[in-house]
Structures are given as C-alpha cells and as structure tokens.
Amino acid sequence: MAQTAQLITPDGKTIELSPDLYLQVKGLLNTRQRRQTARSRAKMKAAIQTGYGMAAGRDSLTAALLEERSKERARENAKLGWFEN
C-alpha cells in the first residue's frame, strides 16, 4: 500500500497527495525557492552596489561603534566595581 503525503495550504486546509504528485509538487516548490533566492541575492547585490561608498569621507561608523562600546564597557565595569588594566 502506497503512502499518501499531506500538503497543508496557507488557509490550513489539508490535501492528500499520491507519491508521484508529491514529488512533482516538491520539485516545483524547490525550483521556485531557488529562483527566489537567486532573485533576492541579485537585489541585495544591487543594494550593496548602490550604497557602496555613500559614507566615504565622512565620520567612521566603525570608529564611532568602537568608541561607544568602550564607553559602555567602562560604565559596566564601574557599575560592577571592576577596574580596567
């Protein structure tokens, strides 16, 4: 006896599928997911290319982040009564 697969729709309905139909649906879903991933990678790459160098010549965000973390660490150490070496 062949087992049936169950597909649950976004509406919450359950559809029973034969093994052959299940493999076909699975193949379609896998293909669609790969296409979306490739499309979203392309969108992300385009966004990175658009934003590349936008902050060049301005204040360093990395330096500001490191400074803020240093201050935060000093506040935590003071709160706990620790001293930095």
- Residues 60-85: tens digit of each pLDDT: 888 889 999 999 999 999 988 876 55
| Helix or strand (DSSP H, E) at 73 | helix 61-80
Q: Residue 13 has what pLDDT? A: 87
- Please report, as a single letter, which amino acid is at residue 70: S
Instruction: Please identify which residue in the block is written with the tokens 């509406």.
Output: 11
Q: Residue 35 has what pLDDT? A: 64
Both structure tokens of 21: 């139909």
Percent of the chain that is helix, strand, coil (3-state, to 5) = 60, 10, 30
Q: Residue 22 has what pLDDT? A: 83
Using one digit for the tens of pLDDT, what is the confidence trace for 14-60? 888 888 888 888 888 777 666 667 778 888 888 888 887 777 777 88
Domain map (residue ranges) of the chain: 5-80
* HSE of 30, CA atoms in CB hemisphere, 13 A: 6
